[in-house]
Structure 1
């Protein structure tokens, strides 16, 4: 317990406030041993839209499965690199620049990292359980690392400087893809995906081609394409 006590004592006031919320009451004195144990055994924590600047206190929370730290001033996910039980992570609208700390978190199923400064999805290539990925509005230029994510079901990669959907060709569990506001010119890699039910591709080079869109609709009739500019004309 001495180690837990030392962990608590170095927390800044914002983190103490967050953990007080978890405990369920404002502490008038230092937390007791039972309360400290409860904190480090947390499986779910929401600290989004707070004034935290670091995730450093979470190194000790090795049982954590769900973490929401969106809309904060954090710049790094490095404190999470050994939290191998993590399954759901929301770190959108932060200042993070790399997903490298997630490389070995093989139980991760949901990752929402939109509106961040990340440039590369490569650290995700060996996360076979990933089912949902939202990396919209980042700085990525390629979907190549996603080729091996055979369980991916929902992908939002809109608002990025990407042009090629080829890496998605064999991701047969995909049900939704959003590639709006990108440089995508060809939907052919998606045409044979058996479970694809929704594709958003507005404001792309391909979205202005009636011929290409109609070809896709013939090949993938079960898939909805919302927001087509001509859908109320033809």
Structure 2
């Protein structure tokens, strides 16, 4: 039952903090923790105001399933490498202000996101948007640095165009609403594709994917034409 007052007095030497599932915290200030590298506040009652005061030293933040956050701004966290916000109430505006240093983003199961733009995240390698409300517009603006994309169970996508993602190695589209035309525009760099359970595909053509090593299309209405 740790409280804000206790956290406010944490020593400056700390590098890792785990506050997962802490329900009695909401307004602490750890800006003085100049050596802090990683913080886990998943399933806690942390607020936007607290996040806005996070120290610039942070490299990894976990806010999974946090329900009291929506409008924080972490653009000043220039050392941040990973952020996990799965199942939170994060919005497009927050994502638009993510710092350029990010390499990994997890916004799976986020229902308040639609058309964010992360084209400025030139160091991003992996993004997970599983079962979120992400749209074609957001995906079409993904930065070309991306190597792994997971849009499984995303139902607001159809005609995405990933041709510009020349570094993309893996895409997970399990049970998504992706279409043949989107797959036809997949970049030649792809090595792994997962289309299991995709119901809107049948006759796509991936003959141009000369680096492809693995494809899954189980439970989909794929036809002979696509396989040929």
| Range class of TM-score, shorter chain | 0.7 to 0.9
CA distance in 2, matches of 1:89, 1:24: 15
User: Residue 70 of structure 1: CA displacement?
Assistant: 0.9
CA distance in 2, matches of 1:106, 1:23: 22
Matched with 1:29 is: none
User: Residue 63 of structure 1: CA displacement?
Assistant: 1.4
Matched with 2:164 is: 170
Residue of structure 2 aligned with 1:220, choices 203, 209, 215: 209
Aligned pair in 2 of structure 1 residues 70, 57: CA closer, same or farther (>3 Å)? Answer: same
Matched with 2:150 is: 156
Q: Are the equivalent residues in 1 in contact too, given 2:64–2:86 (CA < 8 A)?
A: yes
Q: Are the equivalent residues in 2 in contact too, given 1:77–1:96 (CA < 8 A)?
A: yes
Q: Are the equivalent residues in 2 in contact too, given 1:99–1:121 (CA < 8 A)?
A: no
Q: Are the equivalent residues in 1 in contact too, given 2:117–2:141 (CA < 8 A)?
A: no
User: What SS does structure 2 have at the residue aligned with 1:67?
Assistant: strand
CA distance in 1, matches of 2:127, 2:46: 24
Q: Does 1:137 align with 2:131?
A: yes
User: What SS does structure 1 have at the residue aligned with 2:117?
Assistant: helix
CA distance in 1, matches of 2:134, 2:16: 40
TM-score by length of 1: 0.72
CA distance in 1, matches of 2:102, 2:113: 20
User: Residue 145 of structure 1: CA displacement?
Assistant: 5.2
Aligned pair in 2 of structure 1 residues 110, 24: CA closer, same or farther (>3 Å)? Answer: closer
Residue of structure 2 aligned with 1:57, choices 41, 46, 50: 50
TM-score by length of 2: 0.73
Which structure's residues are more often helix, by fraction?
A: 1
From the CA coordinates, give the structure whose radius of gyration is larger: 1
Matched with 1:86 is: 80
Matched with 1:189 is: 185
Aligned pair in 2 of structure 1 residues 205, 87: CA closer, same or farther (>3 Å)? Answer: same
CA distance in 2, matches of 1:81, 1:104: 5
User: Residue 101 of structure 1: CA displacement?
Assistant: 5.2
CA distance in 1, matches of 2:168, 2:15: 39
Matched with 1:180 is: 174
Deviation string for 1:41-92 (max 9, x for gaps)? 312112223x223143341411111111112223225142322221110111
Q: CA RMSD in A?
A: 3.4
Question: Could you list the runs of 5+ residues in structure 1 that have no partner in the other structure?
Answer: 1-11, 26-35
Q: How many residues align?
A: 203
Question: Could you list the runs of 5+ residues in structure 2 that have no partner in the other structure?
Answer: 18-29
